[in-house]
Amino acid sequence: MPRALATLAVLFAACSSSPKHPADAAPLPAGPIARIALEVDLGGCVTKAELAYPAEGGPHGNGPFPVVLLLAGNSPHDMDVTMGSGASRYGMFAMLSDALAARGFAVVRSNKRFVNGPGKFDARFWREQNTRTFTDDAGKVLDAALAQPTCDRKRIAVFGWSEGTAVGAELAVRRGDVDALVLQGAVSLPWRETVRYWIEGVGASYARGYEGSSITSASLKAALRGKGGMVAKLGASFFADPAAMGTGARVSPLLDTNGDGELDSTEIELGIERILDFAFSQKGNVWIYAEGRTVPPVTDQAARLAMPVLVLQGEHDASTPAHGIARLSAAFAKAGNARVLVRMLPGMGHTLGPAASPIDDLGRAPDAATYVGVAEWLAANLAR
């Protein structure tokens, strides 16, 4: 582990002394799972959801069971959060739901608004996506689950991933009945700073190539056709000329101020501010996160989150950078919440699957043991 991350781990251990740590508890038994299909009216859209819970006669009794709501990240995700393709295809939330339901929890997850299944969604998703609306939707899905007799209304947890961490925190603040919060890839930095990291911290490095100090048309083309992850390619694409994307990449003439066909360090630095201004404009692809249009990052909500919190962070997360966790941890400490546990996972990316670097964060599947650990933490912190 790099020295900076090792230092962070020490700091987290010092300020994350939850009295209900599952380390010494006996492993939770895994039993069979039952499922209920739900349809939830979100207002203007009816979405499909599933409630998974321990089957009758299993090792966890007949309920009611503590409830866990799963909230996905940005993009039109189906309820399973289907990732990858071919032999590497998997459902991240399907894995998580089964791991928790087999170990004593009633777990509810849903397709996001206007999503009909893996890769199937209405164009209104992009036009109308809004994190405040997603928070409203999350509350309706949770209420639909709580109406089922298998669910214990007095023991509720929210698990958010990426954008879902900010939505989950907002939901917890609004409702006041959420007893525990799990944050995977937490939005710990301001939204603009987070997107800056995508572009400057990941995309620009990838677009330069391994040996270059400038971004050239050749290095940009190699990056966009290369093996980098989604965030690396997205970040690199901001430096490309949109008019040339169909025929081959070249650097944007709007950023190439001296007209030499490449972007030097000064042009990159100046260009990033222009890129961010456009990205957060009404025509940009992160308008959803523009100031005044979105729920706050988790760090800005920490003072109102007094419940136990588990933070899971990949060292090489390209979407929500690891260095932001120090700021989030400090915010919880300032608020006096001593029931926060931060787990930094070395060599892991945004999905908590392996990633050699943020550029290599390809959304690989996490180790199943990671989610077993989540179940154990939840059991300790939702105990009667």
User: What is the per-residue pLDDT across 220-270, written as a single tens digit (0 to 9) for each?
Assistant: 999 999 999 999 999 999 999 988 765 568 899 999 999 999 999 999 999
What DSSP string runs through 79-112? TT-EES-GGG-EEHHHHHHHHHHTTT-EEEEEPP
CA distance 183 to 176: 17
Task: State the pLDDT at residue 212.
Answer: 72
In a shared domain, residues 275 and 354: no
In terms of domains, do 302 and 269 share one? no
Question: Running DSSP on this structure, what letter comes out for residue 251?
Answer: B
CATH number at residue 104: 3.40.50.1820
CB-CB contact of 51 with 141 (8 Å): no
Q: Which residues of 67-81 are buried (b: 16+ CB within 10 A; e: fewer)?
A: bbbbbbbbebbbbbb
End-to-end CA distance of the chain: 37
Indicate if 126 and 209 belong to the same structural domain. no
Cα–Cα distance, 103 to 27 (Å, whole number): 10
Is 137 in the same domain as 103?
A: yes
Question: What mean pLDDT is reported for the chain?
Answer: 91
CATH code of residue 218: 1.10.238
What phi and psi values does residue 35 have, to the nearest 5 degrees?
Answer: -140, 145
Q: For residues 78-85, give the mean pLDDT.
A: 94
Asked whether residue 226 falls in the same domain as residue 176, the answer is no
pLDDT of residue 124: 80
**Is residue 100 domain-shared with residue 154, that is, in the same domain?**
yes
Q: Does residue 194 contact residue 333 with C-beta atoms inside 8 Å?
A: no
Do residues 137 and 227 share a domain? no
Share of the chain above pLDDT 90, in %: 81
Answer yes or no: do 222 and 349 share one domain: no
Helix axis angle, 131-146 to 163-175, nearest 10°:
60
181 plus 203 within the same structural domain: no
Number of domains in the chain: 2
Q: Tell me which residue range forms the domain holding 305.
A: 3-189+297-381
